[in-house]
Structure 1
Amino acid sequence: MQVHPLLAPVVDLVFPPRCPLCGEGLAAQTGLCAACWSELAIPGDPACSSCRRPLGAEATVGMICAPCLANPPRHAGIAAATLYNDASRKLVLALKHGGRIALAPLLARLMAAQLPQEIGPGWLAVPVPLHRWRLWSRGFNQSALLANELAKLSGVSLGVDALIRHKRTPMLGGLGRAARARALSGAFAPGKGWEERLKGAKILLVDDVLTSGATTDACLAVLRRAGVQVVMITCFARVLDEALDHV
């Protein structure tokens, strides 16, 4: 929620600004303390030219990582705000399970900073959807909150219901690649009235955490069948334990 500048002093008086991770006092209600900022793992160059996976210092410009060589992705890249570690995990859990939706603008600002310059007007931000039962129980879709904030920041349009999840799926943790694919088979479809609008579209697929990529791959397959022109994936945290040493 954005606070009007004239009301900010009153809000700060009633609710003193605190770091959402450690509780340390802040000057304004806009971010993290310096110590917690330093705990975030921000990916950068050198990185895979295909998926933006951080690579070692010996990597050269244009290098493609081994996973992309073995299984070339059908997306146009992954723009991750952070790599998944203790700090990013706490922020994601606070948003998703703690109900602290006021964190969405902060997370989205970090995501927007990693987007390529070409992302803007003419693109459509599409959140990874939740099944209606999970949406009703949680009360919100965290990916939709992030997509909404990204639309404000980058000028992309918002397609909050461009994809729907009409099949309930189990938790994917602990499942192998093939089992994940089976669980997600047929789970997603274009939203009502979106079939024609997706043809030729440039899609920014928005998720909070990218783990194995099985969910975004399933969404990507549906979008490709719908005739989209290009899909770029953005997330707040990307699980790449082996890459943490490269940031």
Structure 2
Amino acid sequence: MRRLGWHLRELTGLVLKTCCPLCQRSANQAFCLDCSRRLHRCQLAPAAQWQPGTLPVFAWGSYSGSLKRAIACLKYENNPQLARPLAHWLAQSWLSHSRPGRLTVVPIPIHVSKRKQRGFNQADLLAESFCEFSRLPLERQGLERSQATTAQFTLSAAEREQNLANAFTPGPAFRKKPPASPVLLLDDIYTTGATARSAAQTLRQHGIRVYGVAVVARTMSYLPNLERS
């Protein structure tokens, strides 16, 4: 029902003007024109979107300003319809880069208790729209969050790593049949990278190849230390 609700909200917005969740002004789209322009100012230059490493990271924008506000609005203010434009922008940038062949997109899960509280997993919604645009296959049940953990933003980098130790397990789809293609993890943000690394480590320990992680935004202060953070 929740998913049906946000789809209906999206369809209604095509007919009736709604309020932009960032500024409350009238808007025909998910964001008003001014806020959409501000969001695109947060977009990283093509050369900066791809960060190689043990776990390569592809990000559409910088986790700051209007983009940081938009992601908070999506997650904490019950605006699941915002996942669609954010994921489409991410997919457009992804397709503009030279990428390997077939990948299976797996959203990074949240614990079932948090999902019940929020009503949705933002990574699921982002992955759905990302795959709709990119035409990559989506596997929602590739990973499970097996442990409820402390909110990451309250912890130091070292504490985040410990907090997420053994937090994930392969989901029922991969337990039944591991994917033939490498996995592209997908999430909303990348800060220290602890969540993405824990998810990737879980899959790799079970013989599943992980190509990297794609996110809407990443925290720029961690870029020089991706391997150590």
TM score, norm. by length of structure 1: 0.76
Please say if 1:104 is aligned against 2:65: no
1:120–1:154 Cα contact (<8 Å) kept:
no
The Cα shift of 1:229 comes to: 3.0
Task: Find the aligned partners of 1:148 and 1:48 in 2 and give their Cα distance.
Answer: 21
Match of 2:124 in 1: 144
1:199–1:226 Cα contact (<8 Å) kept:
no
Match of 1:25 in 2: 26
1:176-196 CA distance string (max 9 Å, x none): 333222111111010124135
Task: Find the aligned partners of 1:48 and 1:99 in 2 and give their Cα distance.
Answer: 28
The alpha-carbon distance between structure 1 residues 166 and 94, as it changes in their structure 2 partners (threshold 3 A), is same
1:21–1:36 Cα contact (<8 Å) kept:
no
Task: Find the aligned partners of 1:48 and 1:143 in 2 and give their Cα distance.
Answer: 19
Q: Secondary structure at the match of 1:148?
A: helix
The Cα shift of 1:18 comes to: 3.8
The Cα shift of 1:161 comes to: 1.5
Q: Where has structure 1 moved over 6 Å in runs of 4 or more?
A: none
The Cα shift of 1:240 comes to: 1.1
Say which of 156, 160, 167 aligns to 2:136.
156
1:148-227 equivalences under 5 Å are: 148-195=128-175, 197-227=177-207
Match of 1:58 in 2: none
Number of residues of Structure 1 aligned to a counterpart in Structure 2: 213
Q: Secondary structure at the match of 2:72?
A: helix
Match of 1:34 in 2: 34
Q: In percent, how many aligned pairs have the same letter? A: 26
Match of 2:69 in 1: 90
1:84–1:239 Cα contact (<8 Å) kept:
yes
TM score, norm. by length of structure 2: 0.81
RMSD (Å) for aligned C-alpha atoms: 2.6
Task: Find the aligned partners of 2:172 and 2:103 in 1 and give their Cα distance.
Answer: 19
The Cα shift of 1:199 comes to: 4.7
Unaligned runs of 5+ in 2: 1-6, 224-229
The alpha-carbon distance between structure 1 residues 119 and 137, as it changes in their structure 2 partners (threshold 3 A), is farther
1:106-126 CA distance string (max 9 Å, x none): 111111122155559732111
1:22-45 CA distance string (max 9 Å, x none): 23334x325432355235411114
**1:239 aligned partner, one-letter code:** T
1:79-115 CA distance string (max 9 Å, x none): 2121011201221111101111111111111111221
